A and B are shown apart, each in its own frame.
Chain A
Amino acid sequence: MRTIWIITKRELHSYFDSLIAYVMIVLFLGFSGFFTWIYGSDIFLVGQASLRTFFSIAYWTLFFFIPALTMKSLAEEKRSGTLELLLTKPVSEWQLIWGKFLGSLLVIGIALALTIPYIITLSSIGNFDLGANLMGYLGLLLMSAAYIGIGIFTSSISTNQIVAFLSALFVGLFFHIIFGVLANNMSGSLGGIFSFLDLNTHFESIARGVLDTKDIIYFASIMFVGLYMSVISLAKRNMN
């Protein structure tokens, strides 16, 4: 656990030292703030003291930002050879991957925490359901965990960050849209399977304020499979 935290700290440092984290957070707040408060079907148009608008925008901004955040994590270590430095220290592959994962998740956590003023504003102007809105945040965090899992995996298979970024988007696209579209076009058990695989279904149900173990298992599985495959991909250097 100590080792994981040391790597997480180093990961956070590298995000903030290289400005990636600042750029990300500013863009995230800028985009979601603009569409939540100023433009389109914003909160004033909807006319409800609810952050649903924000959640559906963050649902998309995070989808694009997370691969940008995770693309560096392992690809760069592999390219520069520092992976060798880390893994010949008393650090296991799992510890490294968990450290990287937590580092990225914390950056997302910080970005989301900076939208707390939204909650304060809304609760002062209307009848605000704190519980339901906090569930929305939980949904975003769970979705981020799943996408970080995917992002770290795609970063582990390449030494090129762009390849890692694009493949993370490609894999993510299936969960984000394609499974949902397939589920709508198919009936019967196949449709049911696709509907279960569709990330939006699970996200919506949490964002509505319903916490179902099924949804948590869904996000946790994507995350675990991603991280597990990253470990396998790192261990592959031992096989031929």
Chain B
Amino acid sequence: MDIIIQNLTKRYGSQNAVDDISFEVKTGEIVGFLGPNGAGKTTTMKIITNFIAATKGDVSIGGKSMKEDAEELKKHIGYLPENNPIYEDVPIMDYLKFVAELQGIPKEKIPARIKEIIKKVGLNDEKHKKIFELSKGYKQRVGLAQALIHDPDILILDEPTTGLDPNQIIEIRKLIRELGKEKTVILSTHILPEVEAIADRILIINKGKIVANGTAEMLRNKAKSNEVIKVSIEGGDTNEVFNALKKLASVATVDFASRDNNSFHLESKPDMSTKHDIFNLCVEQKWFISELTPVEQKLEDIFRELTLN
């Protein structure tokens, strides 16, 4: 089921928490929602899951409008809200049974379904505990289990990996990627490597507006920036090399990469490459290059560039 979001706006008082955003998510696609705190990620997710109504605009899922078929559409959504709200005083099995019943799973199929899902999210060893006895990571798994129990076509996950340890994070990411093959997944996070690791597409949202929409690759290319290279040059005096590099026509800035050897960070001038000039310089001076690596612009930098203004 595809999700189409059109001109969604949510006003709180005089402030637009979500400001006229539109985007689509196709079946089999995982979209990562990225943005600083208070950017409108959670609000957008609450609107998609029909917990709160939009001030303007509409969400349509599988061609049906949320305004008209909310009760029907809700059956197709699995939702893990922010902070993973959960009934603490209930045994895991009872909790999942309660959710399965609410989702309308036929009674005779519930035990098998719970067994399957508990295995999938890795709760098998803990299944007889009450929820308050679980660590945060395991609670998060229960949250995921309740979102997945009715095998929904659409998964909305608000920060699914918070509170997990690195091993658990990798497991859960793997699970989400697997689920994303046949489902439509929207997940939010503020962990940048995470979106890169899971999402097919990244939406960066800031102050209620979408400021970037594309694959990690596309975002890198889009962010206009100059080439940065780390170069180590041996065979010459540090200051001499530094000054020579500075004089090169294509070099905008030179910086020491470390104190004790001749490693430098070179930033090129716009639309130029410094590699050729460096090579020529070294040939001329009989220095030799022991390292030459492009410093890739990180998603962090793109994120900062787009959201800090």
Query: Which stretch (A87-95, A166-174, A181-189, A220-228) binds chain B?
Result: A87-95
Complex Cα distance, B42 from A88, in Å, reads: 14
B75 at the interface (CB under 8 A from A): yes
- Selected A-B contacts with CB under 8 Å, 23 pairs: A3-B102, A6-B102, A13-B94, A14-B87, A18-B89, A80-B86, A81-B83, A82-B85, A82-B86, A84-B81, A85-B146, A87-B50, A88-B74, A88-B77, A88-B79, A88-B81, A89-B99, A89-B102, A90-B75, A240-B11, A240-B12, A240-B13, A240-B55
Contact present for B101 and A6 (CB under 8 Å): yes
* SS of B interface (majority): loop
A212 at the interface (CB under 8 A from B): no
A 185-240 contacts with B by CB, 8 A: 237-238, 240
Contact present for B102 and A17 (CB under 8 Å): no
A 137-191 contacts with B by CB, 8 A: none
Query: Which chain B residues border A84 with CB–CB below 8 Å?
Result: 46, 51, 81, 85
Query: Which chain A residues border B90 with CB–CB below 8 Å?
Result: 13-14, 17
Chain B window 81-100, contacts with chain A (Cβ cutoff 8 Å), 1 for yes, 0 for no: 10101111110001000110
B250 at the interface (CB under 8 A from A): no
Q: Which of B13, B81, B102, B146 has the most CB of A within 10 A?
A: B102
Q: Which residue of B lies closest to A85 (CB)?
A: B85
Query: Which chain A residues border B94 with CB–CB below 8 Å?
Result: 13
Query: Which chain A residues border B86 with CB–CB below 8 Å?
Result: 80, 82, 85
Shortest distance in angstroms between B114's beta carbon and chain A's nearest beta carbon? 15
Query: Which chain A residues border B166 with CB–CB below 8 Å?
Result: none
Shortest distance in angstroms between B66's beta carbon and chain A's nearest beta carbon? 12
B104 at the interface (CB under 8 A from A): yes
A 9-27 contacts with B by CB, 8 A: 10, 13-14, 17-18
A-B pairs, top 7 by smallest CB distance, nearest first, are: A81-B85, A238-B53, A88-B49, A82-B85, A6-B101, A89-B102, A88-B79
Shortest distance in angstroms between B131's beta carbon and chain A's nearest beta carbon? 11
Shortest distance in angstroms between B141's beta carbon and chain A's nearest beta carbon? 15
Shortest distance in angstroms between B220's beta carbon and chain A's nearest beta carbon? 35
Contact present for B103 and A81 (CB under 8 Å): no
Contact present for A10 and B79 (CB under 8 Å): no
A 93-151 contacts with B by CB, 8 A: none
Shortest distance in angstroms between A236's beta carbon and chain B's nearest beta carbon? 11
Q: Which of A2, A82, A88 has the most CB of B within 10 A?
A: A88
Shortest distance in angstroms between A161's beta carbon and chain B's nearest beta carbon? 15
Query: Which chain B residues border A240 with CB–CB below 8 Å?
Result: 11-13, 55
Contact present for B51 and A87 (CB under 8 Å): yes
Contact present for A89 and B85 (CB under 8 Å): no
Contact present for A91 and B50 (CB under 8 Å): no
Q: Which of B11, B53, B74, B87 has the most CB of A within 10 A?
A: B87
Shortest distance in angstroms between A142's beta carbon and chain B's nearest beta carbon? 30
Chain B window 26-68, contacts with chain A (Cβ cutoff 8 Å), 1 for yes, 0 for no: 0000000000000000000010011111010000000000000
Query: Which chain B residues border A18 with CB–CB below 8 Å?
Result: 89
- A90 contact from B13, B53, B102, Cβ within 8 A: B102
Shortest distance in angstroms between A138's beta carbon and chain B's nearest beta carbon? 32
B 99-124 contacts with A by CB, 8 A: 99, 101-104
Complex Cα distance, B79 from A17, in Å, reads: 27
Query: Which chain B residues border A88 with CB–CB below 8 Å?
Result: 49-51, 74, 77, 79, 81
B284 at the interface (CB under 8 A from A): no
Contact present for A90 and B11 (CB under 8 Å): no
B71 at the interface (CB under 8 A from A): yes
Complex Cα distance, B102 from A52, in Å, reads: 43
Complex Cα distance, B183 from A99, in Å, reads: 32
Query: Which chain B residues border A10 with CB–CB below 8 Å?
Result: 98
